[in-house]
Structure 1
Amino acid sequence: MAKVEIYLTQTCPFCKRAKALLQSKEIPFEEIDVTGDQDLRDYMTERANGRHTVPQIFIDGKHIGGNDNIQALEMRGELDALLGL
């Protein structure tokens, strides 16, 4: 199974949607909360090729993007393969 990391903040509704999608597939993921931590947010931005909004999602170290991106992968039927399902 793939390693999934989600950079998020505590109040982000888009983060909650992305997490709900993964939870519905019973995929474990690591939550990395960048709320109030500028150094961690800067690291996320660097990993995400300049994207600074949350969530930023990585599957096996590959940057997937945000909630819209993971939802689009699901709609196209491509997410399960990335997750190793």
Structure 2
Amino acid sequence: MGEIVLYGANWCGDCRRAKAWLREHEVPFTEVDVEHDDDARDRAVDLAGGRKNIPVVVLPDDRVLVEPTNAELAAAIAPEA
């Protein structure tokens, strides 16, 4: 399984929740800080189809989840875990 990329910011509650869920389930991921990196912020908006919501989670199969719930994370990742 390839690695998951999570675009988010430290101040974002949904980002903290998603990161905690991934860590709790031992799912490896790379975090990209959109608050301090304009290119990363632009990439996250592009990936999210123009939406500015975070987190933006890019799965190994290139599916993109925008502001996913824990249940949505579980459903998307379970087949790969």
Classify the TM-score, shorter chain.
0.7 to 0.9
Q: Could you say what secondary structure the match of 1:6 adopts? A: strand
> Amino acid of the residue matched to residue 28 of structure 1?
P
Task: Note if 1:15 corresponds to 2:7.
Answer: no
Q: Tell me if structure 2 keeps the 8 A contact 1:48–1:65.
A: yes
Partner of 1:63: 64
Q: Could you say what secondary structure the match of 1:72 adopts? A: helix
Q: Could you say what secondary structure the match of 1:67 adopts? A: coil
Partner of 1:41: 41
TM-score (structure 1 length as normaliser): 0.79
Q: Tell me if structure 2 keeps the 8 A contact 1:17–1:67.
A: no
Q: Could you say what secondary structure the match of 1:40 adopts? A: helix
Q: Tell me if structure 1 keeps the 8 A contact 2:54–2:66.
A: no
Deviations 1:12-57 (A, max 9, x none): 1110100111111111100000113333211211112112111111
Q: Could you say what secondary structure the match of 1:14 adopts? A: helix
Gaps of 5+ in 2: none
Residue identity over aligned pairs, in percent, reads 30
TM-score (structure 2 length as normaliser): 0.82
Gaps of 5+ in 1: none
Aligned residues: 79
